[in-house]
C-alpha cells in the first residue's frame, strides 16, 4: 500500500501529467487514422525515450496505449473502417448508429466505455501484479526457462494462421536475440564480422523496424479508400444513458481483463468476445447489429480492459504476452529497468507509478475525447500517402539520435524489409519480438539450470510449478493438432 501511494506521488508532477496528456492525445489521433496502430505509435516513440525520464516515457506510452484503443472506434463508427484491429466489433452497432444520425452519441458511448474498460484494467493490474510477484519470487532458473518457452509457444501458435509459421517466427526472433556476444562464454554469435551488431541488436532498433516500417508501406496502398462523409451528427451521451451501460461495462471489463492476461490474445479478441457475451446476455438482442449502444459499449470496454491487464505478466514475470507489452518492456529496458520481481523492490516507485499512469490516462482520455472529438474526426481526412514517408523520416531520425550511429538506421531498415516480406507470407511479427526478448532469457536460464543440476535432465521437471508449465506448453502445442483432427473429421 505504501509503495502504491509512493507511485501515485511520483507521477503527480507537471512533467509526468503533460507527458500523459500528450501521449493520450497522440494515441487517439493515431488510433483514429485507419492503418496506424498503438504498436506503430509506440515503436515511433521508443528511440526518443533514451533521453527521457522513466515517468515521462512510460506516461506517454500509457497514454498512447489507452488513447489509440478509443481512437480506433472513431473511423469504425463514422466510416465502417476499424481504425485499429481491436475496433472490429465496434463497427457492428457503431456504424448503424451513425447512419441513423446518432454519430455523436455513438462516439460518446465508445469514449465512456473505453475509459471504463481502462479503469477496470488498471485496477486489475494494481491488484493482480503484486501477488504474482510474490509467486515469482519462488521461481528459479528452471521455472524461468519454462515460462519463456511457454510465452513463446503460446503467442506463436495463437497468433499464426499456420502453426509452423508462428513457431518459425519465434525462432527467427530467438536468432535475432542471440546475435552478439555470448554473455557466459564471451564467444561472438551470428555477427559475421559486422562490427555494428557485435554488441547485439538494439531493442529499440528492432522494435521500430518491425512495427513501424511494414504499416508505413501498407499505407502506400490505402489511397483508393473512399473517405465519404465523416460529419458528426446528433446529441451526445447523457448520465442516464451512461448508467444504463454500467452492467455492460462490468461484464465486458472482466472479459477484457481475463483475455489480457492470456498470452497471445489481444484487444480484438477481447472486443469480439465481450460483444458476443453482451448479445447473449441481453434479454432483447434484436437491436444488436442495427445500432444498439450496448454493442458499442461492450466492444470498446472489452478492448480497453485488455490494455493494462496484458501488462501483468510483463511487469511481474518479465514475460510479455503480446507485441504492445513487448514494446512497453522495450521502453523499460531502455531506461535500465528489467521487468520482473526484482523491479518491484528496486524501482517500486516507477512500477507503481506506471500503474497509476495507466489509470490516470483513462480519465485524461475521457476529458480529451469530449473536448477534441471534432479534431480527431478531421484526422480521417489526412491522406495516408503522405503519412507513410513522414513515419519513415521520423523512424530514421529517432533511430539515429538514439545512438548517433547511422548503422542502426540501416539495421532498422533491413529489419523492416524482412518484416514486410515475412508478414506478407503469413509469418506473424509479434512472436519475432517475443523470441528476441524471451530467447536469451530461456537460454541463460537453461544453462544456469544445467550448471546447478550438474546436467541432470530430471531437474527440469522437479518442481510443481515446472510440471504445471510443461503441461501448459504441451496443451498449447497439442491444440493445433486437436483442431486439425476435428476439422478433418468434420
Partner 1 sequence: MDVKVTAGEKLTINLMVAAAGVVIVWDSQSLQGGSAYFPLTVGLALIILSVMSAIHLLRHFIGSKTSEASLPHGIAGLLLALLYLWSAQSIGFITSALWFLPLMAVLGGERRWRFIVGITLCFALLVWLVFGLVFAQTMPPELIFGEVG
**Which residues contact partner 1 by CB under 8 A?**
48, 51, 162, 164-165, 167-168, 171-172, 174-175, 178, 182, 184-185, 187, 189-190, 192, 213-214, 216-225, 383-386, 388-390, 392-394, 396-397, 400-401, 404, 406, 409-410, 413, 416-417, 420-427, 439, 443, 446-447, 450
Q: Which of residues 286 and 404 has its CB atom nearest to partner 1 in the complex?
A: 404
Q: Which three cell numbers stand for residue 389?
A: 514517408
59 in Cβ contact with 10 (< 8 Å): no
User: Angle, to 10 degrees, between the axis of helix 54-71 and the axis of helix 38-45?
Assistant: 160
Q: State in angstroms the smallest separation of the CB of 104 from partner 1.
A: 28
Q: Which of residues 218 and 470 has its CB atom nearest to partner 1 in the complex?
A: 218
Q: Which of residues 272 and 301 has its CB atom nearest to partner 1 in the complex?
A: 272
Q: State in angstroms the smallest separation of the CB of 120 from partner 1.
A: 30
Q: State in angstroms the smallest separation of the CB of 40 from partner 1.
A: 13
Q: State in angstroms the smallest separation of the CB of 430 from partner 1.
A: 15
Measured CA to CA, the distance from residue 173 to residue 163 in angstroms comes to 16
Q: State in angstroms the smallest separation of the CB of 428 from partner 1.
A: 12
Measured CA to CA, the distance from residue 419 to residue 424 in angstroms comes to 8
Measured CA to CA, the distance from residue 59 to residue 94 in angstroms comes to 30
Q: Which of residues 2 and 404 has its CB atom nearest to partner 1 in the complex?
A: 404
DSSP H or E stretch at residue 188: strand 188-189
Q: State in angstroms the smallest separation of the CB of 420 from partner 1.
A: 6
Nearest-CA neighbor of 338 among 322, 320, 355? 320
Nearest-CA neighbor of 416 among 199, 207, 262, 275? 207
Nearest-CA neighbor of 158 among 68, 24, 265, 242? 265
Q: Which of residues 122 and 204 has its CB atom nearest to partner 1 in the complex?
A: 204
Contacts 24+ apart (CB under 8 A), 402-411: 402/47, 402/48, 402/50, 402/202, 402/204, 402/205, 403/202, 405/196, 407/196, 408/196, 408/202, 408/205, 411/196, 411/197, 411/201, 411/202, 411/205, 411/209
Q: Which three cell numbers stand for residue 425?
A: 507470407
Q: Which of residues 370 and 410 has its CB atom nearest to partner 1 in the complex?
A: 410
Nearest-CA neighbor of 270 among 57, 442, 484, 84? 84
Backbone Cα Rg of the chain? 22
Residue showing cell 448503424: 96
Q: Which of residues 329 and 429 has its CB atom nearest to partner 1 in the complex?
A: 429
Question: Which residues on neighbouring strands pair with residue 180, listed in sequence order?
Answer: 189
Neighbouring C-alpha atoms within 13 Å toward the C-beta of 323: 25
Q: Which of residues 214 and 291 has its CB atom nearest to partner 1 in the complex?
A: 214
Q: State in angstroms the smallest separation of the CB of 87 from partner 1.
A: 15
Q: State in angstroms the smallest separation of the CB of 374 from partner 1.
A: 21
Q: State in angstroms the smallest separation of the CB of 343 from partner 1.
A: 26
Q: Which of residues 47 and 130 has its CB atom nearest to partner 1 in the complex?
A: 47
Torsion of CA 48, 380, 65, 104, to 10 degrees: 150
Amino acid at each position: 500500500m505504501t509503495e502504491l501511494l509512493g507511485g501515485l506521488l511520483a507521477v503527480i508532477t507537471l512533467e509526468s501529467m503533460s507527458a500523459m496528456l500528450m501521449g493520450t492525445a497522440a494515441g487517439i489521433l493515431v488510433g483514429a487514422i485507419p492503418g496506424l496502430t498503438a504498436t506503430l505509435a509506440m515503436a515511433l516513440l521508443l528511440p526518443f525515450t533514451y533521453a527521457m525520464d522513466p515517468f515521462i516515457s512510460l506516461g506517454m506510452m500509457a497514454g498512447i496505449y489507452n488513447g489509440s484503443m478509443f481512437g480506433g472506434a472513431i473511423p469504425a463508427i463514422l466510416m465502417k473502417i476499424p481504425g485499429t484491429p481491436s475496433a472490429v466489433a465496434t463497427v457492428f452497432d457503431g456504424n448503424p448508429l451513425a447512419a441513423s444520425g446518432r454519430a455523436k452519441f455513438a462516439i460518446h458511448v465508445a469514449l465512456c466505455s473505453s475509459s471504463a474498460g481502462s479503469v477496470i484494467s488498471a485496477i486489475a493490474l494494481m491488484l493482480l501484479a503484486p501477488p504474482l510477484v510474490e509467486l515469482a519470487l519462488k521461481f528459479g532458473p528452471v521455472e524461468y526457462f519454462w515460462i519463456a518457452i511457454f510465452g513463446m509457444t503460446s503467442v506463436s501458435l495463437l497468433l499464426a494462421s499456420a502453426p509452423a509459421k508462428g513457431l518459425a517466427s519465434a525462432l527467427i526472433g530467438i536468432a535475432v536475440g542471440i546475435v552478439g556476444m555470448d554473455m557466459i562464454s564471451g564467444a561472438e554469435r551470428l555477427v559475421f564480422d559486422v562490427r555494428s551488431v557485435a554488441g547485439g541488436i538494439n531493442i529499440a532498433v528492432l522494435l521500430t523496424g518491425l512495427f513501424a516500417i511494414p504499416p508505413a508501406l501498407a499505407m502506400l496502398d490505402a489511397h483508393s479508400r473512399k473517405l465519404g462523409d465523416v460529419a458528426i451528427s446528433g446529441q451526445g451521451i447523457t448520465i442516464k444513458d451512461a448508467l444504463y451501460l454500467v452492467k455492460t461495462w462490468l461484464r465486458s471489463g472482466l472479459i477484457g481483463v481475463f483475455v489480457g492476461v492470456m498470452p497471445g490474445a489481444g484487444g480484438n479478441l477481447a472486443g469480439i468476445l465481450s460483444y458476443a457475451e453482451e448479445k447473449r446476455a441481453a434479454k432483447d438482442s434484436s437491436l444488436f447489429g442495427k445500432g444498439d449502444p450496448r454493442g458499442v459499449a461492450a466492444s470498446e470496454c472489452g478492448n480497453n480492459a485488455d490494455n493494462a491487464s496484458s501488462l501483468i505478466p510483463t511487469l511481474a514475470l518479465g514475460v510479455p504476452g503480446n507485441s504492445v507489452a513487448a514494446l512497453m518492456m522495450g521502453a523499460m529496458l531502455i531506461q535500465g529497468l528489467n521487468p520482473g520481481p526484482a523491479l518491484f523492490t528496486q524501482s517500486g516507485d516507477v512500477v507503481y507509478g506506471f500503474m497509476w499512469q495507466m489509470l490516470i490516462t483513462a480519465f485524461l482520455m475521457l476529458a480529451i475525447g469530449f473536448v477534441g472529438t471534432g479534431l480527431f474526426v478531421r484526422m480521417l481526412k489526412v491522406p495516408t500517402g503522405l503519412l507513410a514517408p513522414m513515419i519513415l523520416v521520423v523512424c530514421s531520425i529517432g533511430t539515429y539520435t538514439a545512438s548517433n550511429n547511422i548503422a542502426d538506421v540501416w539495421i532498422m531498415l533491413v529489419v523492416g524489409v524482412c518484416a514486410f516480406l515475412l508478414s506478407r507470407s503469413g509469418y506473424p511479427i509479434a512472436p519475432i519480438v517475443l523470441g528476441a526478448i524471451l530467447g536469451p532469457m530461456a537460454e541463460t536460464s537453461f544453462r544456469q539450470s544445467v550448471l546447478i543440476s550438474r546436467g541432470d535432465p530430471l531437474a527440469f521437471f522437479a518442481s510443481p510449478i515446472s510440471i504445471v508449465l510443461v503441461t501448459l506448453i504441451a496443451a498449447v502445442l497439442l491444440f493445433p493438432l486437436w483442431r486439425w483432427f476435428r476439422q478433418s473429421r468434420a
